[in-house]
Amino acid sequence: MSLLRKTLAARVLYLKDSWLYRILPSVRHKPFTAEPCGDLSESWNDVEPNPNQLRWRPFNIPKASEKKVDFVSGLHTVCGAGDSKSRNGICIHLYACNTSMTDRCFQNSDGDFLIVPQQGKLLVTTEFGKMMVEPNEICVIQQGMRFSVDVFGETRGYILEVYGAHFELPDLGPIGANGLANPRDFLVPVAWYEDRTVSAGYTVINKYQGKMFSCQQDFSPFNVVAWHGNYTPYKYNLENFMVINCVAYDHADPSIFTVLTAKSTRPGVAIADFVIFPPRWGVADHTFRPPYYHRNCMSEFMGLIKGHYEAKEEGFQPGGASLHSIMTPHGPDVDCFEKNSTATLKPERVAEGTMAFMFESSFSMAVTKWGLDTCNRVDKEYYKCWEPLRSHFNPKWKPASK
């Protein structure tokens, strides 16, 4: 399998389209009929709002010896907001599966999927070609593109779905031409096709207006002999991110870690940002270097691909997650605070061997019944990581004379 190295042509790309040259047109199929949605949901009022800090232990992966679950059957909605019908909103899903999709594919008519593998690689077959996506890489399957997923054992990861906008590179402003996720590092598939008749029936699963539907056809949808255009699936290796960081004192805004953004109609406000916290140097002087305690006007959903997140080395585990909702206070646990309040400030590597990420949104997200109850992974003791914090205030303290 080969991948064509190809850049995202522009940071803001207003016109997106692709021409696909098929053996048979995709219109040749039986009518769609309703399918069970499983744990996929766009119902934000099934449980009462919860403003508390939330943390999930690593989400369970079904055992193949007990039940075979493929990528689509293993989708679970954790939280979200908005509405696919009005084309304005987001969903955050978890996928946990153990078997490949056979003679079936998935199409999301509602929005784009940004897929973040955490455990196990994915072989994603799309109408444009194939992509192998491993942990510490991401891929984006844009609205309406059909794809199938092969896995190679117990597999888990995260998905950010956006309605009404597409992911793009953030505006760099004073950073200039180079930095963060560089266009040259995004890869798109080369054309690959199969001219295959499926007499037993090929199933196309369609997520439409938040519900699931399926139809049957007697041929593989991956019958595109050639294509051209700029509306494509693509992948990106997070190790290629060019990190910007503070080199004097204090903190820059975490937006400096943005890989991709889905803009809203309000300037400077995103429907969602995909942000990472990669290995980097910490050199800020006269500064509490870990993330500071704060409340803000964005919802922050975090996941951990590997390693130990610097602000919470215990409790926040790979394959787990946390949600800090709009105006809910959060920050480092007590161990991180005490250690870094007295640490000698010298240049040091931060987050070595670690990759944490954040789905950040201007939407006030609701947690689903599956996310809050059914998954049984909520850490009900999470709040206790801040309870030992104590006051260090001394009204008589004065800086040492020079």
CA–CA gap between residue 10 and residue 311 (Å, rounded): 35
CB 248 within 8 A of CB 214: no
Contact 275, 257 (CB under 8 A): yes
The response to whether 392 counts as a known ligand-binding position is: no
CA distance linking residue 396 with residue 76, whole number of Å: 54
- 29 in catalytic set: no
Count of CB atoms within 10 A of residue 327's CB?
Answer: 12
Residue written as tokens 């992948």? 235
Which phi and psi angles does 76 have, rounded to 5°? -135, 130
What's the rounded Cα separation, in Å, for the pair 51 and 36? 30
The catalytic residue among 29, 76, 166, 251 is 251
Q: Which residues of 255-272 are buried (b: 16+ CB within 10 A; e: fewer)?
A: bbbbbbbbbbeeeeebbb
Q: Is 308 annotated as a binding residue?
A: no
Q: Which residues contact 282 (CB under 8 A, 6 or more apart)?
A: 245, 289, 347, 348, 349, 350
Candidates 68, 104, 96, 42; CA nearest to 319 is 96
Spatial distance between the Cα atoms of 120 and 229, rounded to a whole number of angstroms: 31
Sign of CA dihedral 357, 78, 96, 185: negative
| Cα distances (Å, whole numbers) of residue 292 to 67, 244, 277, 329 | 44, 18, 15, 10
β-strand pairing of 104-108 with 197-208? parallel
Burial class (CB in 10 A: 0-12, 13-18, 19+), 279: middle
Q: Is 330 annotated as a binding residue?
A: yes
- Burial code of 35-56, b = ≥16 C-beta within 10 A, e = fewer? beeebbbbebeeeeebeebbbb
> Counting Cβ atoms within 10 Å, is residue 191 exposed (0-12), middle (13-18) or buried (19+)?
middle
For residue 236, the tally of other CB atoms under 10 A from its CB is: 22
Residue 309 annotated as binding site: yes
Positions at the binding site for Fe cation: 294, 300, 330
Positions at the binding site for homogentisate:
309, 330
- Residues involved in catalysis: 251
Return binding residues: 294, 300, 309, 330
